[in-house]
Structure 1
Amino acid sequence: MREWQLSPAELLPLSMNWVSRVRRADGSTAVLKLAVPEAGHLADEATALEWFAGRGAIEVLARDDARGALLLEEARPGIQVRDLVPHRDEEATAALIRIMRRLHRPVGTGVELPELAGRSASFERHLRRFPENGPIPRHLVVRAAGLFGELCASAAERVVLHGDLHHDNVLSAERESWLAIDPHGVVGDPGYEVGALLYNPDPSGTDDTVLDLAMARVEQLADGLGMPVERVLAWGFVQGVLSEVWAFEGDGMRSSRALRLAERLFPLLG
């Protein structure tokens, strides 16, 4: 804060990182985000945001990878897209589609971000750990692992992905109507981005209202992104299982709704 000439303004809700609103020397506000260096993905987040260059996402004002610090543009008023769900769900999905269309640009080699295909390791670890039926039905994990590889291999283009796009990570703003925050930053098939949108917000919740909206979201996403419905369904299934694998890998807790989405979509896969 001393080096960047910042003063504290207001601590923001915390989860994985320390985040605070700060005031800059010129009187403007920004967001300071801190994480344990190399333990999180703050450097990848900064690289992805710099690639997006303010198109559909907040901008990086300063970064210090060695100390795990980011100074970020603040999205004001900062209302989350999740606040539109469920009564204005079509409007929420439209906002997310606009964000994806703004973020996704073809990328060649040389972008120093992880490859999406590398996330297949999570499926592999789970299947090795549970050679028989495990806490997640094995046939779902096997199908998701295979389908994940097929989808990555058949990508029509490679783009820098947000990597964790959902209703909590898109905020209302002044510079653009909506801006994405907190990208993970990976490179791969743009279709990956749609999966988490089918079981959010509150993926650990027990209310299945969101799942009842899933098929309408599938149709809207396919139409808005020019993507085959079958591919949207496939990525939704894969991400539902992957979310469950990650939840069990992290703390042993099941996220429930993501798995229930996968179970609903499984019979619809080609």
Structure 2
Amino acid sequence: MVRILTTLSRNVTGVWGAEGERWLAGLPALLDGLAADWDLVLEAPYDLTFHYVAPVRQADGTPAVLKVGFELEVEAAALRAFDGRGAVRPLRFDATRGAILLEQVTPGHRLRDLVPADDPAAMAVLADLMRQLHVPPPASHGLPPVLSQVGALDRHRGPVPAGLVSQAAALMRSLCASASREAVLHGDLHHDNVLAGTRAPWLAIDPHGLVGDPGYEVGSILFNPHPDDRDPALTALVPARLRQLSAALGEPEDRLAAWGFVKAVLSSVWTADTGGPLTRALDVAHLLRPT
């Protein structure tokens, strides 16, 4: 428990600074208030990264999951748009306190357990989820456009090679401008954010929530799971993944590869800007870099 909370503390203060410190100091009282107001019994939290997430029991004994943290408005908006199709259902949301109550997915093991033993099966699951998730944006959806992320590339002056970053920024603008349609996107769809369920065989969790070209969605898939493992054999899976996803989604393979390059560079920039070590995303970026 101490280790879990130490990880949460380090991440929250690293991203949100003094505001994060104040949030951490008030977290016990915040959890007590939510438990009382929503009539919940809190259990031990999951492994924590940037949010406090724990299984709970509702008043009638039904299990659920409580997630508390920063910037959950966009996640809640994406889940409302998905409306349970391919994604976990939101049960309650409190924007003021930054809390969302979610259905609990059981048995809950992650899609990453299929990789690399059966990578084509994992790709088939992810393609099926994309077909379910990519609904037309509803009116007043409150979700940011994909292009809003290009600022991270424009501002980066860190360890990711400048040539890669500038090329990714230009390509991202071009891909957004040439998109044939827009859809609601998960924004961080990959093996760790897909759980085995009973309501549906697989359900996505933890959406970033975006609106834009559906091709963007493949990016995170290409350097997951276990992006910290820079084993060349995992990077070597990328071409076959692109071929399979292109055929399953009816999207041009070269366009998906371009989005894969953009997202791999973007992920590398985000990691570097928060002080983390560069991951397999950078290897994928080099592999997919347009010539």
Please report the TM-score for the alignment, with normalisation by the length of structure 2.
0.86
150, 171, 177: which one aligns with 2:174: 150
Cα deviation per residue 1:66-86 (whole Å; 9 max; x = unaligned)? Answer: 001110001100010101000
Identity %: 48
Establish whether residue 160 from structure 1 lines up as the match of residue 190 from structure 2: no
The equivalent of 2:67 in structure 1 is: 33
1:1-270 to 2 correspondences below 5 Å? 1-35=35-69, 40-107=70-137, 110-126=140-156, 130=157, 135-251=159-275, 253-266=276-289, 269=290
Corresponding residue pairs, total: 257
Q: How far did residue 142 of structure 1 move?
A: 1.3
- Determine the C-alpha separation between the residues in 2 that align with 1:21 and 1:180: 17
| Pairwise CA distance, 1:186 | 1.0
* Partners of 1:198 and 1:210 within 8 A in 2: no
Residue 108 of structure 1 and its aligned partner are, at CA, apart by: 5.6
- Single out whichever of 110-119 and 214-223 deviates more from structure 2: 110-119
Please, which moves more after superposition, 3-12 or 150-159? 3-12
- Please, what is the CA RMSD of the aligned residues? 1.2
| SS of equivalent to 2:211 | strand
Contact 2:71 2:98 in 1 (8 A): no
Q: List per-residue Cα deviations over 1:22-80 (Å, max 9, x = no partner).
A: 01111110000111xxxx32111011001100000000110101001110001100010
SS at match of 2:142: coil
Gap runs ≥5 in structure 1: none
Question: Would you say the 8 A contact 2:145–2:210 is kept in 1?
Answer: yes
- CA deviations 1:203-222 (Å, max 9, x no partner) are 12222332111111000110
Choose between structure 1 and 2: higher helix proportion.
Answer: 2
Q: What displacement does 1:182 show?
A: 0.3
Contact 1:194 1:236 in 2 (8 A): yes
Cα pair 1:30 1:72 within 8 Å, conserved: yes
Give, in whole Å, the separation in 2 of the partners of 1:255 and 1:163.
20
* Ranges of 4+ aligned residues in structure 1 off by more than 6 Å: none
Render the CA deviation track for 1:156-184: whole Å, top value 9, x for unaligned: 11111101111100000000100000001
SS in 2 for 1:10: coil
Per-residue CA deviation, residues 216-263 of structure 1 (Å, 9 max, x unaligned), is 100011011100000111011111111111111111x33231111111
CA distance 1:21–1:232, shift in 2 (3 Å): same
Structure 2 CA distance, aligned partners of 1:25 and 1:107? 34
| Partner Cα distance (1:92, 1:16) in 2 | 26
Q: What amino acid is aligned across from residue 42 of structure 1 in structure 2?
A: L
SS at match of 2:61: coil
Return the TM-score normalized by structure 1. 0.92
Q: Distance in 1 between matches of 2:236 and 2:82?
A: 33
Q: Which sections of structure 2, spanning at least 5 residues, go unmatched?
A: 1-34
